[in-house]
């Protein structure tokens, strides 16, 4: 078995308590499968649903019982079928432990006693009554299962989903207690989440083998050392680096890699034709206006070479280390596994730090031969779980050279127009108090349970594209939008407050700066928004729009009497890109209708004006695509009929596609724009 190959069994609760979030359950499991299809092609996944109406599992067939547990997919290497099995999760109702047993049984049947990495992922509402086991108590049953899991070194991950404000009854408490019993037996990790968004972040969708950064001594002094291991605590999961695609290979070549090799050649400035071989190159560093050549060997001989080791410099007050000085991703210092004395020493120091509000300053050289040292701070991580040891977080601190001392104007010396009045201050205070994301006992958008919306979207798009190569980028899922935008429910509750804030402060665009540019710089108006505004349920949208745009003079539509003026009025309400979008869309519809209705060129003049206005707006709003697509579409549709004359008119007025020169976002060249009508005509003849 390949090292680090993992077997995951998803145990999914489809009972009533989960019906509201089945979409998210599906999505997170799909992300897990998608990532495996990209990174871990040989991993195996099995899927067990519990709470289903029917029953389908080996144990039920052989022993009876284990009702309402359905194995929808046996443990197999991931493929399309795995994703397929997740597509239609049935609704059902019913028991947690049974599913664990079934999952365990699947692993045992498949792998017997061989070793490997196995993981059971249980996602449940844990709200249904467990039936009593045939013999012994439920607690004993849990212990038995835990022993089995331990024996086969299977990890269990439980994700309990509870909507906020759900009343906890005896059944739920018992279930929770039993699940936490697994944790106390050191075989499981239990997390509880309360929103669909955090459910998406609760499951580890990519399996990373933990690797130590350092193993060795934390040297307090020359004769007192604590044995520690250092791991990464945070590390950015990057957007995958996609390879460049080459379409040069002939279509018949089935084994073509389609890859593009990037080659660098170094050429002398004096002789641009001569390539300098790598061994003849030498590094040069700037010293004033002059470049100092330094050969690698020379550099190697004299450069800074610190000894490997982690040394304590001393302790200091936490307030001496500002939070914004933390430089990098975070490491974790744990005592050497199995070394009780080291665990005690770490525990004692961590707890004392916690009590006295102190931190330790350490100097770290992780590896021999490393070219620099890291100066950092150790802060305590007091474990709240019995069987997890105390440890330290390690953050890198800046050196003197890394701090830039820029001066900024003190707020107290600002002109009085920039000082808030009492009323304004109160509006701000209320906002800070009311837009509370951490009411007692709850915290919304905890980083621990917040998935990366960009990556979520990428993997689902990847999957979509593998089936439909010309698919468009899907809009952000509803629960992912809770990460990028404030919750409309919260906003809805605080409408009054938000309006007050808007009233209290007066913001005005600087008339000296160009308007269109400002719009451009200050917001990314993009496809995401368009799709969003279309997809957003209308009630929610209306409320949002109301907040954004207090009903003004009713210019919400393009009317027949004066279409161009209405259109411009709509555009002028440019406070949000959705309006611009709507204006353009309406104008397009209106113009198309105008042309279709037209007999003998009666409406041509009006339509021409509309086209001109639309084209101008699309250039200003940097939406050339909108116009170009519209023009192409309408031309294709109407060129055969009477309207052909109209297009000649357009052509004569130079109203053609928007070219790159006019709007950088366009992919139409000037020549293409010029010859648009000509070429089309030829093609149609």
Partner 1 sequence: MDLDPEGIFRDDSDEDEDNVQEREANKEMVVYLVDASPKMFTPATTQDNEKQDTHFHTIVSCITESLKTQIIGRSYDEVAICFLNTKEKKNLQDSAGVYVYNVGDREELDRPTAKLIKDFSSIEDSFMSTIGSRYGITSGSRENTLYNALWVAQALLRKGSVKTVSKRILIFTNEDDPFGTITGAVKTDMIRTTVQRAKDAQDLGLSIELLPLSRPDEQFDMSLFYADLIGLDGDEITEYLPSAGVRLEDMTNQLRKRIMKKRRVKTLSFAITNDVCIEVNTYALVRPTTPGTITWLDSLSNLPLKAERSFICNDTGALLQDAQTRFQMYNDTIVKFSVHELSEVKRVASHHLRLLGFKPLDCLKDYHNLRPSTFIYPSDQRIFGSTCVFVALHSSMLRLGRFALAFYGNPTRPQLVALVAQEEVTSSGGQFEPPGMHMIYLPYSDDIRYPEEVHVTYDDAPRATDEQIKKASNLFKRIDLKNFSACQFANPALQRHYGILEALALGEDEMPDIKDETLPDEEGLSRPGVVKAIEEFKTSVYGENYDQEEAEAAAGKASRGDASKKRKEITDAAAQISAAYDWAELADNGKLKQMTAAELKSYLTAHDLPVSGKKEVLVSRILTHLGK
How far out from the chain centre does Cα 191 lie?
20
Q: DSSP secondary structure string, 475-503?
A: PPPHHHHHHHS--HHHHHHTHHHHHHHHH
**CA atoms of 536 and 428, how far apart (whole Å):** 29
**CA atoms of 536 and 529, how far apart (whole Å):** 10
Q: Which of residues 8-37 bind partner 1 (CB under 8 A)?
A: 34, 37
Taking every pair of Cα atoms in the chain, the longest distance, rounded to a whole number of angstroms, is 101
Q: How far is the CB of 584 from partner 1 (least distance, A)?
A: 16
Q: How far is the CB of 543 from partner 1 (least distance, A)?
A: 11
Q: Is the CB of 419 or the CB of 648 nearer to partner 1?
A: 419
Give yes or no for residue 352 binding partner 1 (CB under 8 A). Answer: yes
Q: Is the CB of 112 or the CB of 369 nearer to partner 1?
A: 369
10 and 121 Cβ atoms separated by less than 8 Å = yes
Give yes or no for residue 134 binding partner 1 (CB under 8 A). Answer: no
β-bridge pairing 6-13 and 358-365: unpaired
Which of residues 340, 534, 557, 678 is near partner 1 by CB under 8 A?
A: 340
Which of residues 576, 598, 651, 675 is near partner 1 by CB under 8 A?
A: 576
Q: How far is the CB of 489 from partner 1 (least distance, A)?
A: 12
Which of residues 91, 166, 516, 527 is near partner 1 by CB under 8 A?
A: 527
Q: Is the CB of 98 or the CB of 194 nearer to partner 1?
A: 194
Coil, strand, or helix at residue 223?
coil
Q: Which of residues 645-664 bind partner 1 (CB under 8 A)?
A: none
Give yes or no for residue 288 binding partner 1 (CB under 8 A). Answer: yes
Which of residues 135, 265, 273, 640 is near partner 1 by CB under 8 A?
A: 265
Q: Is the CB of 39 or the CB of 559 nearer to partner 1?
A: 39
Q: How far is the CB of 111 from partner 1 (least distance, A)?
A: 22
**Integer CA distances (angstroms), 387 to 390, 550, 639, in order:** 10, 56, 76
Q: Is the CB of 299 or the CB of 601 nearer to partner 1?
A: 299
**CA atoms of 156 and 172, how far apart (whole Å):** 19
Total residues binding partner 1 (CB under 8 A): 228
Give yes or no for residue 361 binding partner 1 (CB under 8 A). Answer: yes
Q: Is the CB of 114 or the CB of 221 nearer to partner 1?
A: 221
Give yes or no for residue 259 binding partner 1 (CB under 8 A). Answer: yes
Q: How far is the CB of 97 from partner 1 (least distance, A)?
A: 21
Q: DSSP secondary structure string, 614-680?
A: HHHHHHHTT-HHHHHHHHHHHHHHHTTSTTHHHHHHHHHTT--PPPTTT-TT----HHHHHTHHHHH
Q: How far is the CB of 663 from partner 1 (least distance, A)?
A: 15
Q: Which of residues 362-421 bind partner 1 (CB under 8 A)?
A: 363, 371-373, 375, 379, 381, 383, 386-391, 393, 395, 397-412, 414-421
Q: DSSP secondary structure string, 122-156?
A: EEE---SPPPPPSSS-HHHHHHHHHHHHHHTTEEE
Which of residues 132, 139, 509, 629 is near partner 1 by CB under 8 A?
A: 509
Binding string, 535-574, against partner 1, x = CB under 8 A?
---------x--xxx-------------------------
Give yes or no for residue 273 binding partner 1 (CB under 8 A). Answer: no
Give yes or no for residue 356 binding partner 1 (CB under 8 A). Answer: yes
Residue keyed to tokens 């919400």:
556
- Two tokens at 482? 């809770």
How far out from the chain centre does Cα 573 lie?
32
Q: Which residues does 277 contact at the CB level (< 8 Å), separation at least 6?
A: none
Which of residues 453, 595, 631, 634 is near partner 1 by CB under 8 A?
A: 453
Query: Which part of the chain contacts partner 1 (CB under 8 A), choosing from 161-169, 501-509, 597-605, 649-657?
Result: 501-509
- Two tokens at 318? 């936490």
Ramachandran assignment for 218, one of left (phi > 0), alpha (psi -120 to 50 degrees), beta (any other): beta
**CA atoms of 253 and 325, how far apart (whole Å):** 54
**Phi/psi of residue 478, each to 5°?**
-55, -50
Residue 130 CB neighbour total at 10 angstroms: 18
Which of residues 100, 427, 655, 673 is near partner 1 by CB under 8 A?
A: 427
Which of residues 110, 117, 162, 189 is near partner 1 by CB under 8 A?
A: 189
What is the DSSP secondary structure assignment for residue 242, as one 8-state letter?
Answer: P
Q: Select from 102, 201, 199, 184 the least CA-distant residue to 150.
A: 184
471 and 461 Cβ atoms separated by less than 8 Å = yes
How far out from the chain centre does Cα 504 lie?
35
Query: Which part of the chain contacts partner 1 (CB under 8 A), choosing from 100-108, 166-174, 255-263, 645-653?
Result: 255-263
**CA atoms of 269 and 448, how far apart (whole Å):** 52
375 burial level (CB within 10 Å; 0-12, 13-18, 19+): middle
Q: Which of residues 301-330 bind partner 1 (CB under 8 A)?
A: 302-304, 306, 311-317, 320-330
Q: How far is the CB of 629 from partner 1 (least distance, A)?
A: 14
Q: How far is the CB of 71 from partner 1 (least distance, A)?
A: 23
Burial code (b: 16+ CB inside 10 Å, e: under 16) for 307-318 equals: eebbbbeeeeeb
Give yes or no for residue 297 binding partner 1 (CB under 8 A). Answer: no
Q: Which of residues 192-251 bind partner 1 (CB under 8 A)?
A: 201-202, 204-206, 208, 210, 219-224, 231-237, 239-240, 242-249
Q: How far is the CB of 182 from partner 1 (least distance, A)?
A: 12
**CA atoms of 302 and 256, how far apart (whole Å):** 48
Q: Is the CB of 34 or the CB of 615 nearer to partner 1?
A: 34
Which of residues 129, 166, 171, 276 is near partner 1 by CB under 8 A?
A: 276
Which of residues 4, 355, 496, 589 is near partner 1 by CB under 8 A?
A: 355
Q: How far is the CB of 260 from partner 1 (least distance, A)?
A: 5
Q: Is the CB of 405 or the CB of 553 nearer to partner 1?
A: 405
Which of residues 428, 592, 638, 672 is near partner 1 by CB under 8 A?
A: 428
Q: Which of residues 83-112 bind partner 1 (CB under 8 A)?
A: none
Q: How far is the CB of 651 from partner 1 (least distance, A)?
A: 29
681 and 637 Cβ atoms separated by less than 8 Å = no
Q: How far is the CB of 647 from partner 1 (least distance, A)?
A: 29
Q: How far is the CB of 122 from partner 1 (least distance, A)?
A: 17
β-bridge pairing 309-317 and 290-294: unpaired
Its sign, for the CA torsion 418, 424, 429, 431, is negative
Q: Is the CB of 8 or the CB of 498 nearer to partner 1?
A: 498
**Integer CA distances (angstroms), 376 to 316, 334, 358, 396, 406, in order:** 12, 16, 14, 4, 23
Q: Which of residues 577-636 bind partner 1 (CB under 8 A)?
A: 577
């Amino acid at each position: 078995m390949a090292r680090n190959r993992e077997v995951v069994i998803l145990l999914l609760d489809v009972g009533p308590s989960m019906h509201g979030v089945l979409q998210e359950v599906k999505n997170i499991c799909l992300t897990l499968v998608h990532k495996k299809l990209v990174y871990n092609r040989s991993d195996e996944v099995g899927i067990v649903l519990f709470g289903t109406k029917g029953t389908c599992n080996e144990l039920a067939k052989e022993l009876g019982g284990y009702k309402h547990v359905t194995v929808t997919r046996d443990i197999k290497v991931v493929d399309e079928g795995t994703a397929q099995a997740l597509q239609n999760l049935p609704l059902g109702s019913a028991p947690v432990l049974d599913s664990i047993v079934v999952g365990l049984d699947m692993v045992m049947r498949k792998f017997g006693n061989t070793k490997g990495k196995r993981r059971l992922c249980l996602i449940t509402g844990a709200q249904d009554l467990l039936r009593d086991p045939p013999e012994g108590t439920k607690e004993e049953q849990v212990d038995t299962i835990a022993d089995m899991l331990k024996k086969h070194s299977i990890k269990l991950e439980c994700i309990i989903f509870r909507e906020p404000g759900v009343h906890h009854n005896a059944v739920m408490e018992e279930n929770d207690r039993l699940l936490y019993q697994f944790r106390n037996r050191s075989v499981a990790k239990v997390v509880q989440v309360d929103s669909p968004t955090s459910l998406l972040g609760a499951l580890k969708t990519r399996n990373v083998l933990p690797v130590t950064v350092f193993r060795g001594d934390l040297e307090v002094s020359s004769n007192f050392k604590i044995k520690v291991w250092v791991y990464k605590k945070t590390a950015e999961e990057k957007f995958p680096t996609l390879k460049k695609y080459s379409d040069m290979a002939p279509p018949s070549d089935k084994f073509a890699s389609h890859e593009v090799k990037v080659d660098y050649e170094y050429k002398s400035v004096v002789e641009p034709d001569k390539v300098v071989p790598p061994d003849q190159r030498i590094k040069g560093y700037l010293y004033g206006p002059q470049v100092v050549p330094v050969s690698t060997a020379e550099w190697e001989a004299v450069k800074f070479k610190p000894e490997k080791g982690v040394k304590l410099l001393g302790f200091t007050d936490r307030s001496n280390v500002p939070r914004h000085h933390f430089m990098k991703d975070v490491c974790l210092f744990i005592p050497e596994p199995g070394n009780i004395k080291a665990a005690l020493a770490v525990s004692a120091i961590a707890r004392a730090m916690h009590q006295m509000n102190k931190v330790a300053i350490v100097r770290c050289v992780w590896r021999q031969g490393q070219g620099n040292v890291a100066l950092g701070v150790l802060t305590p991580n007091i474990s709240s779980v019995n069987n997890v040891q105390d440890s330290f977080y390690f953050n890198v601190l800046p050196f003197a050279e890394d701090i830039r001392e820029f001066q900024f104007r003190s707020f107290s010396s600002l002109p009085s127009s920039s000082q808030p009045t009492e009323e304004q201050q109160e509006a701000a205070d209320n906002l800070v108090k009311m837009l509370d994301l951490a009411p007692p006992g709850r915290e919304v958008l905890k980083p621990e349970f917040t998935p990366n919306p960009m990556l979520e979207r990428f993997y689902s798009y990847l999957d979509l594209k593998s089936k439909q190569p010309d698919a468009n980028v899907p809009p952000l899922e509803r629960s992912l939008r809770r990460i990028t935008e404030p919750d409309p429910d919260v906003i809805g509750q605080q409408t009054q407050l938000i309006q007050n804030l808007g009233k209290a402060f007066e913001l005005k665009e600087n008339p000296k700066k160009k308007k269109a540019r400002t719009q451009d710089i200050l917001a990314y108006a993009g496809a995401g928004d368009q799709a969003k505004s279309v997809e957003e349920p209308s009630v929610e949208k209306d409320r949002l729009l109301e907040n954004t745009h207090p009903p003004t003079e009713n210019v919400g539509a393009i009317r027949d009497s004066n279409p161009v003026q209405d259109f411009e009025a709509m555009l002028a309400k440019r406070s949000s890109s959705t309006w611009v979008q709507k204006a353009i869309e309406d104008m397009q519809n209106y113009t198309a209708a105008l042309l279709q209705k037209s007999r003998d060129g009666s409406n041509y003049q009006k339509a021409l004006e509309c086209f001109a206005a639309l084209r101008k707006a699309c250039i200003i709003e940097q939406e050339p695509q909108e116009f170009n697509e519209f023009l192409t579409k309408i031309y294709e549709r109407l060129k055969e009929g009477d309207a052909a004359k109209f297009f000649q008119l357009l052509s004569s007025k130079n109203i053609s596609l928007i070219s790159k020169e006019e709007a950088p976002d366009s992919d139409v060249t000037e020549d293409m724009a010029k010859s648009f009508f000509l070429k089309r005509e030829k093609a149609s003849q």
